[in-house]
Chain A
């Protein structure tokens, strides 16, 4: 393969990639979901501070020792008080981090906001002919 062709392919791909990056950076989520309040944004940092993601998933991404937390607040029979109980006391598998109250409130605010952003895991869906899926509520 001549060097000019190699260079052209490389730089063409690179330019498309950079444009695509700008598009992804600016892409709005479906129905503009997922916005976090100030407090929830702080909660996200607390979530990182204690490395909750090592055991938990958000949208199925993360560690697998504990359950997916995307919808813990919006799931029937669970909710804020339920989640708070876990965070305050821990369990046999989940450590009690002795998290101060204000940080717990931020965590709960974060969990509340992500609950509204979508569904995980996806259980109800239709299949399209091309192998992609359509999520149902």
Chain B
């Protein structure tokens, strides 16, 4: 059952669901954040329109700094700006902003303890045709391991907008994971968002549990309660998989885990306590990102069998998003199959 309290997009399962890129949400959110707080400044490394910082740059030309193609310098320059009391957002593609400038982010931003906000656009497989060089599949792992860093991967454009406004208010450095492609809009303006608060989008476990002598979802099924914990552009696929599994008799909880760090331990452990099996889904390597974070949390507190949906130690390649998700076994069907395999196992 979709969570009624979240004011989700009523058309979210429709084939003509509204779509928008996460980066657009960032661009709008940045203008909002800048209107609210005059300390917000923006830096970009020659991809301003592409990462949607141009709306900010047009509205606040005196607070925009074009650094040219200098991601390493941009990160440290923002550190200096933050040391003077401002809140700089730095933006480029995740592969370069988060990837190329990792050590500058670690030392001059996080170790230095200044609130620089890092927007990594064009993350994940869905960059598609640009190919493997441009598909950042390691960025959440890279960012998550740095002390003090917050890591946020919003699920749709509206959430990206809210996340942008929200990270402008935290005193820590933050990494905001964005994507280029059209992504179904799951939330509405009225859907709550809070950094560090995971969102239960779907939960039909109560209904399933109360049906006496219910029909098992598969032939020999014993373990039929499953959680799908997803982030970013994979959340919509997780919802589609969740609904499908529910229709087959599974008890399913679908979590939008937009904040990878700090993890919402209480919500996640509570979810885990209600299920037999946990699936994580991310457009990222299965190592070190969302799946890694959840595995660390569960194995320390409440060990569960898990399946990891993501790229399995491979580089990306050119193709449409759809082709690539199929190739790397990252569609909603793969999530459904993971649950069935477990239930029958």
Chains A and B form a bound pair? no
- A→B interface (CB under 8 Å): none
